[in-house]
Chain A
Amino acid sequence: MNLILVGISHRSAPVEIRERMNIHESRLSAALDDLMARDGIREALILSTCNRVDLAAAGEEGAETESPLRRFLTDYHRYDPTAHEQHLYWYRDADVVRHLFRVACSLDSMIVGEPQILGQFKQAYLTAREAGALSGTLRDVSEQALAVGRRVRRETGLGTSAVSVSYAAVELARKIFGTLRGKTIFILGAGKMSELAARHLVSSGASSILVSNRTYERARELAAAFSGTAVPFESVLTQLQRADIVISSTGSPDFIVTRAAAEHLLAERKQRPMFFVDIAVPRDIDPAVNELDNAFVYDIDDLEQVVKENLAERQREAVRAEKIVEEELERTLRRLASRELAPTIVALEQRLESIRRAEIERYRGRLGALTPEQRESVEALTRGMLNKILHGPITEMKSRAGGPEHSALVNLVRRMFGVND
């Protein structure tokens, strides 16, 4: 295994450095070809998103891989070693595998658990494969990283809960209404924040939008943007019963929906639930409305509290995800190492077999004419001895696979049996 990775990410560099290192999608396969053409590089993978650029490569056995990567950076990005070195991180072998696993699981993302990275990783893998840049160890490691990413997504809650206020509102709405398809949203007071929340709800399937604002013109504009209907501010209370979800952010000093008004609304709606998202300060919806059955009121503090709790949960889930990464890492390293052992084992066996044949040949004259049974016995005897001799070293090498002193042990065994290539 001769893996190397150099990268830059939101952790190591500000955006003005990252954007210089970014490799655009359209130039990705050319960049891979460039990388592959360099001495000692056998495989390559490039992951380039707005938050990170990772260049991973597998080198020929024993080849020096750092300087070809450095030259690539210099040629490709007009990278200045003195100015940028501090922003780069370098990993080798097992650490490359761990890094790729963590990236695929979104553990290294700016917002831990954000779901896009797995798709971006998959795209990077497919591009590298199409460019013929993945053929051995790095291909296995990338495929394994994708599998680990899927496993973390499946088995942990990393990334399942909303960590922004407007998305938290969407998630709450889903817990009340199931699907948002066919639901009506009432935007009360046209502001930036309510527009954002409404946009999230619409992209989750909500279909009809009603907008009301103190200045009717502004309501008309916003309604047009969502192809909804503007409602005059005076008739809000009569129209509000059509809404499943109310997003409120007016500048009104008093409550617009009082408990009594909400009670009336719910009766009109035959007790179908209503969800009030009150992002106005001072508040528009009387908090006592939340005491009514089938009415759910969340003000800005409530939403922020939900986000905070979700973040705390993400942190806990991240710990579980790290454990999965370590577990998968160990398994992958062991598998890679034991597969890399195969040529050594074959060489050992061939070496001893050739000695055996030579010796039998040498003693053929002295043994005289043997019956077929006797010849069979000599073969079995010598072969058995070799297998017993080889058994110890092979088992030892296999059991140390993936461990720290493994390659030293393999080299020692090769030297002892004289199978250096």
Chain B
Amino acid sequence: MLLWIALGLYGVGILLTLPSVASRRPALPRPALIALCSGLALHAAWLILDAKRLGRLPVTDVHSAISFFAFDLTLAFLIIYLRYRLVWLGLFMLPFVFLLALAAALQAGPSFDSPSFRGGWVAVHVAAMFLGYTGFFITFAAAAMYLLQERQLKSKHARPLYQRLPSLEVCDLLYYRSLVFGNIFLAIGLITGFVWASRTWSGSWQYDPKILATVVTWLIYLVLFSARASGTWPGRRSAYGAIFGFAAVMVTFLGVSFLSGQHGFLPTP
């Protein structure tokens, strides 16, 4: 129920955000901010209640994992909004948040409990992975805004979008910072995951499809990072890279979960 109300508030927040994206107002209208913040607060309350019930972070089945991701993204949007006033970022992030939260609310069922999911390592592992993915989603949104603005500037026409999108430099700054952020947390997530797996799992867990996919995703982002840090790739190629990278994240996050025995959000046999 809490989740549904939070979802409703996100929806209201998105609808109230739309006019300011269309007009040139550089700030979100206050009601939109209030709706988003209270949605976030209810979402947090729901997470805390669920965590209390389970005695751990509610992130070990598909629906609660998705809802946790939606929570992270909304929080990240608000933080970035307060720092950079990027209304446009909301246009990319909020509908996605809404879909994630909707999926979570629709799927809501009792989360299963398994002794192997207890313990500090797994909590750090999961939280770090999601923070990493949140960073990469922002990288993706920054890349998309960069590509749109770049096209506007190259076309040499003062199209309506041009006035409303952030400058290339701001897109690039957001791109780079979120990329660094994502890489750091994904690394933490991977390391804690390895430590935890080597302690609890037996057999050749290294070949678990999800683990492999995650490592591949991380490698993609490492390439993106080194290309951006050394300045060898022009802006557009980096931007396309980030979009490709995020597709890999989605495959890793959702697709492979259903294939993986140990790791998919299914009870371990």
Contacts and interface: CB of A to CB of B under 8 A. Distances in A.
Given A155-B23, A176-B168, A309-B158, A271 B153 contact: no
A175 B168 contact: yes
A79 interface: no
Contact of B154 (A290, A309, A310): A290
A306 B156 contact: yes
Contacts of B230: 270
A298 B158 contact: no
A298 B234 contact: no
Interface string B150-163: 00111011101011
Given A270-B231, A271-B232, A271-B234, A178 B157 contact: no
A293 B163 contact: no
A22 interface: no
B231 A271 contact: yes
B237 interface: yes
B259 to A, nearest CB: 38
Given A270-B231, A271-B233, A313 B158 contact: yes
Q: How large is the interface on B (under 10, 10 to 19, 20 to 34, 35 or more residues)?
A: 20 to 34
Contacts of B8: none
Contact of A272 (B149, B158, B231): B231
A72 interface: no
Interface residues of A, number: 30
Interface in B141-187: 149, 152-154, 156-158, 160, 162-163, 165-170, 173
Nearest to A175: B167
A306 to B, nearest CB: 5
B123 to A, nearest CB: 39
A306 B154 CA distance: 12
A176 B237 CA distance: 17
B118 interface: no
B235 interface: yes
B169 A177 contact: yes
Contact of B156 (A154, A174, A179, A302): A302
B158 A161 contact: yes
Contact of B169 (A178, A306, A310): A178
Nearest to B237: A293
Nearest to B158: A309
B169 A176 contact: yes
30 contacts: A154-B25, A155-B25, A161-B158, A172-B153, A175-B162, A175-B165, A176-B153, A176-B167, A176-B169, A177-B169, A178-B166, A178-B168, A178-B170, A178-B173, A179-B169, A269-B231, A270-B232, A271-B234, A272-B231, A273-B168, A273-B235, A290-B154, A293-B236, A293-B237, A296-B153, A302-B156, A305-B156, A306-B157, A310-B158, A313-B158
Interface of B: 23-25, 149, 152-154, 156-158, 160, 162-163, 165-170, 173, 230-237
